[in-house]
Structure 1
Amino acid sequence: MKAVIMAGGEGTRLRPLTCNRPKPMVPIVNKPVMEHIIELLKKHNLKEIAVTLQYMPELVKEYFQDGRDFGVNMRYYVENSPLGTAGSVKNAENFLDDTFIVISGDALTDIDLSSAIEFHFKNKSMATLVLKRVDIPLEYGVVVTDESGRITRFLEKPSWGEVFSDTANTGIYILSPQVLTYFNRDEAFDFSKDLFPILLKEGKPMYGYVTNDYWCDIGDLKAYRQAHMDVLEGRVRVNIPGEEISEGIWVESEAEIEEDASVLPPCVIGRGSRIKKGTVIGSHSVIGNFNIIEKRSGIKRSIVWNNCIIDKNVQLRGGIVCNKIHIGENVSAFENSVIGDDTVIKENASVKPNVKIWPNKMIDAGTEVNSNLVWGSKFTRVIFGNRGISGEINVDITPEYASKLGAAYGSVFRKGSRIAISCDGSPSAHMLKISLGAGLLSSGVEVLDLGKLLLPMARSAIRFYKIDGGIHINTASEDRAKLFVDFLDLNGSNIDRGMERKIENAFAREDFNRCEGDCIEEIKYIPDYGTFYLRNILNSIKSKQMKYRIAVNSNSELITGTMKELLSEAGCMVDTMSLRLINTRTSSRSMPSSHVRFFTKNIKLKKLDLGVSIEDTCEKMMLVDDKGRIVTEDMFIALISIIFFKSTLGGTVVVPISASHIVEKIAGENKGKVVRTKTSQQDIMKKILGDEIKEEMLDQFTMHFDAIACLIKILDFMTVNNYRLSELVDMIPGFHMAKREVECPWNAKGKVIRQIIQGENFEKIETLEGVKIYQDGGWVLVLPDAERPVCRVISESYSAEFAEELSAIYVNKIREISRG
């Protein structure tokens, strides 16, 4: 007699266990559940087996091969599209030339199949269903039989109102090959929904064999855990791998249990696993193959699969740990938690009860994971990058994530504070703005929706309306799935690191302020601030008429439209383009340099006065003068310093520590002063605006972080003083800088800086950020990157060659130290 194992189950209710494997390959006491079924079939001399497959079929084939190693002969039949239980078996019709048994590959059972087969032949049945009495039959087909066992009625997955029996269909059938003639090949057809009602209606002999043996459908995570408990308690007769070294403790070959480690029955220790000193493996635990469980860890009522590293003092309580997981020191995971394949949980983290973590995640040190982690690659306390938050829409940043983020931000303010929200108008940014607004409202703050604005406009609106803070969402023009979220303070600056940490802590702990329902206010809409902002810029112009011919490049229609409207009203002639030149925010070229050359040549050929290319957030811009020369980022800092000092004699400019020292030379020529700050946007903003906004410093803030207003200020200065842009560029003293990046692992960054500082005798050294070394008339700055495992090396000297040589020396030093 032959058998069919139905092994096409996807197991959606078992996720994340089934993210990387089909349901029949999920292990029960260190064997795929389907292997237990094969052993049961073999026990009853059913060795000719057909296997129907659909979801991840290769994993099943790869494991069982032709079945020879398991003492059976196996053939595989793969569905290209779902055909139902009967439709999948129809694929094996040529193989099934006599009475056969159908059994699920994803249930655990020790049913006496020989008795069921004997019952089938005794009653000359066409179809015999193996039945089991269950307490709650809602997830199964219920069946009624008469005194002889003949089926009189059944219903698939009834509601409580439809329940007429507690006798459930186990999905194990003994069938005559004649049943396969009732439907066609490649036809979607189900045994219980389609075939059995036909047989019942035609009065064909169909019987139910009621068993008292063990049967468990591994349908969800609760059933999966219970199946393990039942095996360990001896309620089901299956072969547990390993030798029973003492009552209730099974240990496989090559496993090592060190002295002073406690193993309490019942439990299973898999092949090659190491249990180290002071560790307690509690009762009802299953440890898979090749795991390393370090000292003083405690594992109770938990299931650990294969190839995991569990560091010192880890506490697992009633959880499931899948394959190839690294759990750091002092981590705790509680009841009913599930950790998916290839996940890393760093030290001191905590996984709360009932939390499911999908595969390939990174959980940062000290993080408390209190909700399911499905999307993205990382769950971390640190959610802010170099500035704000960035990520992929509906992957890293979902509406649920945004709502929690809004609640976390609102929770750091007093009740009744006013928070503005705005976005660039893209559908995805608008969707997340709604979610952020909902989260903010739930925390009891007042929300003002500024609508569709550019980021500099949002900053200006916050200052103008005296709002306590704000959130602006911007979409990357080159990748509409990528979003940037900026969090702003009452000055319109990006919030400082201290505020970011408060938000991260509130977000990680879900420690949100929640106001009562009658305290939640409606969102207040403030339309048309953009119009007021542009009018305000025009009103600030000192010159009567600007008659410049300008090329404006941006990938954002909102930016090009706004710039064209503003410049045209100021008297300029505008030529708009949408070349992909450079993304200032990511500092990565998105298109070949030929597009840059086209832009610069276009300005010369058309004899335009200047060109400007504006990045997505409308904060930074690249200028090209009337001679076609590009004003680089370092030249731009010098350019706005010249304009500022000539407009405000004896003033103070703020520049990052990485900027060229020609700014000091320009300051000296104009009796000015230079203040150096760290390189992050927040630090520059904070240093410029401080706690009290001064008019001249607000102008400087605008020049750094508002491309629209900055361009108008440059044009106005040029008009009033009768300069061309090329003449201003000529005023910039010559300088030579080199910039390199070098790989440096996270754990080596501190060592790199320390060893460089402790190195040779230098003329002068600064440690405001990273380390800045002065030597041989030049300087070099070694700056560990905050978001990537690299160090940036920036140098300046009297010649381009020596600047390159300086940077190369320190790139090599970083490599030596980090690899040392």
Structure 2
Amino acid sequence: MHGTEIIPGVWIGENVKIGHNITLNGPSYIGESCELADDVQIGAYTVAGRGSSLQKGVSIERSVVWQNNTLKQHVELKGTVLGSSVTVLAGASVREESVIGDHCVIGKKCVVKEGVKIWPNKQLDHHSIINESIIWTEKQQKSLFGEMGVKGICNVDLTTSYVHRLALAYASTIKVGVKIGIGHDGTPYSQLLAHMFMTAMHASGVHTYDLGSGMTAITRYAVNHYHLEGAVHVRQISVEGEHWQLEFVDAKGLPIAKAQERKIENAYFQESFRRVSPKDLGYVKKAHQIMTHYMDRLASFVNSGAIHRKKYRVVVEYENQNLRSIVPMLFDRLGCQLIQLPGTHHSQEQLPAFMKDNHADLGVRLNDNGEIEMLVTEEGQVLDEVTLILLHIFMQVNLHDGEIRVPSSAPHYADWIGEKYGRKVVRLKMDPRSLMEGCSNHGFHLYSDGLYTITQILHMMSLQHCGFSQLVETDPGFSMCKKNVSCPWTEKGKIMRTLLEESRNHRVELIDGIKIFHEAEAGWSLIIPDSEEPLFRVLASANNSETAEKLALMYTKKIEHYLNAHIIVQ
């Protein structure tokens, strides 16, 4: 090994890039073309091989890291050996006397325990705790699907070969000759994965509709418009540019059911893929003008003439790549003056200030998938979560004469609204499928389609001849508070049983998680185990913010106490 001794006992090769606030202790060696980001700590008896990338906050001591490895933010290695071309994702920890083989991927916040050996080409799931060596299985993970489909990192765990196998598994669970839509966002990698998915579907005898570039909402609508059996939408989900997601929807445009997810996972892990003869191969059909069809149907739900006469000025902050065509066309059709605030990375105060400067009637921030991130009234008021819940309730009253569907976290004010309008209020689980199923309208879904929601707001404003602030000015007389508390996967069930046992003297609702009612505080607490992260989500509602905060904090501390004291029902 060639290098230069920069301080006593610390040697580095050529073309090494070193950031700020680096800690280097000898004896240690940093190979050529390595990159050490800010706050990296290199302890004694450490070797970092050629071409390795150590990102911000990485800590290594008494370890050998061979060539071309990538260690993401705040990875910790102690007394371990990493082979070549290993990727260790953010927050992971690899302990003493462990060995990681070549081309492995260690998931985010994964913990590899002492003495564990991981053979080459293995993938470890996010947040997993690995106590035993992994030799034969290819991938250590709980499941393929998360809350909104299949997620992964570009060219790390979400590769073209992985997507090809996933598509074969999906195709094997549906009949030969059916039609499935494939959509994607505007990124090149999404387009690549979408085309890979289509070719695998064709090999299994499934026909595809190429829905082109757009939002997931358009893909959902296309299922209804073309009478498809389902669809898949591929999109980037992180601004850092690393994470992608494949969303699977059924014949109603809803996220596929858990039973269907399990069928796909079984086919994937068992490699039970269907092969068809050449005469049964699938084909692709281009879905022309699907965006125009989507806008036509969107406009049919509202009184476009009434909106047009009001000549509303609407400020929309959005990311150009996926929405640059449809947003201007939609507002032009509605006769609204669109004032664009480019990008989606402004501060919380910029959109309200920009609205006031332009005397706008409504302000909206959309993410790059067309989902609402912020709503602002003409007075500059940013709608909080409580007001958004009430807005969705009033929109349902305006849209149809049936039941009012609300998430299980909705306050009892929803029941008062139901009584006022003679409607039954039905509480739903807070997972995306349940919420969308309860509020679907010919392929449009109130809780997931930002443009559909905006057109309905403008429709209500025009019919009631009022501003947006008047539309949402009702005082609900309650407050909500949210908190998260970490909990290992293995303890979630025990914690839930303990909370249920402890709450036997309270009124309890089990629609989604455990909802515990507190009569003295005129409120409730809702404890939900997160389906993707090792944590609980604690929500509380009361007639004032202090009481809501108190209730949420009480159950957060209870869970922490149970974990620390091991006071749990087995």
TM-score under structure 1 length normalisation: 0.53
Amino acid at match of 2:172: S
Native 8 Å contact 1:477 1:555 kept in 2: no
Greater alpha carbon shift after TM alignment, 432-441 vs 752-761: 752-761
Aligned pair 1:392/2:153, yes or no?
yes
Q: CA deviation at 1:660?
A: 2.6
Native 8 Å contact 1:638 1:732 kept in 2: no
Choose from 400, 422, 434 the match for 1:671: 422
Query: CA 1:778 to 1:340, structure 2 compared with 1: closer, same or farther past 3 Å?
Result: closer
Q: What is the DSSP-based 3-state SS (H/G/I as helix, E as strand, rest coil) of the residue aligned with 1:630? A: coil
Q: Distance in 1 between matches of 2:451 and 2:136?
A: 42
Name the larger-Rg structure. Answer: 1
Q: Distance in 1 between matches of 2:281 and 2:185?
A: 26
Native 8 Å contact 1:324 1:342 kept in 2: no
Q: Distance in 2 between matches of 1:360 and 1:534?
A: 42
Q: CA deviation at 1:506?
A: 1.0
Summarize deviations over 1:142-180 as a string: whole Å, max 9, x none. xxxxxxxxxxxxxxxxxxxxxxxxxxxxxxxxxxxxxxx
Q: CA deviation at 1:622?
A: 2.1
Aligned to 2:380: 628
Aligned to 2:258: 497
Native 8 Å contact 1:418 1:467 kept in 2: yes
Aligned pair 1:768/2:511, yes or no?
yes
Q: CA deviation at 1:579?
A: 4.3
Q: Distance in 2 between matches of 1:671 and 1:657?
A: 20
Query: CA 1:54 to 1:634, structure 2 compared with 1: closer, same or farther past 3 Å?
Result: closer
Native 8 Å contact 2:103 2:121 kept in 1: yes
Aligned to 1:618: 370
Q: Distance in 2 between matches of 1:482 and 1:674?
A: 38
Q: What is the DSSP-based 3-state SS (H/G/I as helix, E as strand, rest coil) of the residue aligned with 1:705? A: coil
Choose from 285, 302, 324 the match for 2:98: 324
Amino acid at match of 2:388: F
Aligned to 1:108: none
Matches for 1:564-575 after TM superposition, within 5 Å: 564-575=328-339
Native 8 Å contact 2:105 2:123 kept in 1: yes
Q: CA deviation at 1:416?
A: 0.9
Amino acid at match of 1:411: S
Summarize deviations over 1:41-99 as a string: whole Å, max 9, x none. xxxxxxxxxxxx9899xx9x969x9xxxxxxxxxxxxx999xxxxxxxxxxxxxxxxxx
Choose from 276, 301, 306 the match for 1:515: 276
Amino acid at match of 1:571: G
Q: Distance in 2 between matches of 1:518 and 1:323?
A: 56
Query: CA 1:80 to 1:360, structure 2 compared with 1: closer, same or farther past 3 Å?
Result: closer
Uncovered stretches (5+) of structure 1, i.e. residues with no partner:
1-6, 9-52, 66-78, 82-289, 291-304, 306-321, 327-336, 582-590, 690-696
Q: CA deviation at 1:644?
A: 2.4
Q: Distance in 2 between matches of 1:415 and 1:528?
A: 27
Choose from 404, 428, 437 the match for 2:189: 428
What is the RMSD of the two structures over their aligned residues, measured on CA atoms? 3.6
Matches for 1:238-249 after TM superposition, within 5 Å: none
Q: CA deviation at 1:444?
A: 1.3
Aligned pair 1:735/2:478, yes or no?
yes
Aligned residue pairs, count: 472
Q: CA deviation at 1:698?
A: 4.5
Aligned pair 1:782/2:527, yes or no?
yes
Higher relative contact order (CA 8 A, sep 6+): 2
Native 8 Å contact 1:624 1:630 kept in 2: yes
Matches for 1:287-686 after TM superposition, within 5 Å: 324=98, 357-358=120-121, 361-362=124-125, 379-476=140-237, 478-544=239-305, 545=308, 546-580=310-344, 595-649=347-401, 651-686=402-437
Q: What is the DSSP-based 3-state SS (H/G/I as helix, E as strand, rest coil) of the residue aligned with 1:551? A: strand
Native 8 Å contact 1:478 1:555 kept in 2: no
Aligned to 2:554: 809
Q: Distance in 2 between matches of 1:339 and 1:424?
A: 29
Aligned to 1:19: none
Q: Distance in 2 between matches of 1:438 and 1:748?
A: 42
Greater alpha carbon shift after TM alignment, 661-670 vs 605-614: 661-670
Aligned to 1:717: 460
Uncovered stretches (5+) of structure 2, i.e. residues with no partner:
3-30, 35-41, 52-78, 84-95, 566-570
Amino acid at match of 1:658: S
Q: Distance in 2 between matches of 1:55 and 1:606?
A: 51
Native 8 Å contact 2:213 2:322 kept in 1: no
Q: CA deviation at 1:757?
A: 1.2
Amino acid at match of 2:449: D
Q: Distance in 1 between matches of 2:45 and 2:301?
A: 74
Amino acid at match of 2:248: F
Native 8 Å contact 1:654 1:677 kept in 2: yes
Query: CA 1:722 to 1:477, structure 2 compared with 1: closer, same or farther past 3 Å?
Result: farther
Summarize deviations over 1:217-249 as a string: whole Å, max 9, x none. xxxxxxxxxxxxxxxxxxxxxxxxxxxxxxxxx
Q: Percent identity?
A: 27
Query: CA 1:435 to 1:639, structure 2 compared with 1: closer, same or farther past 3 Å?
Result: same
Query: CA 1:800 to 1:736, structure 2 compared with 1: closer, same or farther past 3 Å?
Result: same
Summarize deviations over 1:226-274 as a string: whole Å, max 9, x none. xxxxxxxxxxxxxxxxxxxxxxxxxxxxxxxxxxxxxxxxxxxxxxxxx
Native 8 Å contact 1:474 1:483 kept in 2: yes
Summarize deviations over 1:686-718 as a string: whole Å, max 9, x none. 3445xxxxxxx558x532221112211210121
Matches for 1:16-55 after TM superposition, within 5 Å: none
Q: CA deviation at 1:527?
A: 1.9
Q: What is the DSSP-based 3-state SS (H/G/I as helix, E as strand, rest coil) of the residue aligned with 2:228? A: coil
Q: CA deviation at 1:558?
A: 2.6
TM-score under structure 2 length normalisation: 0.75
Aligned to 1:224: none
Native 8 Å contact 1:554 1:616 kept in 2: yes
Amino acid at match of 2:253: G
Query: CA 1:778 to 1:397, structure 2 compared with 1: closer, same or farther past 3 Å?
Result: same
Q: Distance in 1 between matches of 2:487 and 2:530?
A: 9
Q: CA deviation at 1:340?
A: 6.7
Native 8 Å contact 1:554 1:613 kept in 2: yes
Native 8 Å contact 1:745 1:818 kept in 2: no
Q: Distance in 2 between matches of 1:599 and 1:729?
A: 18
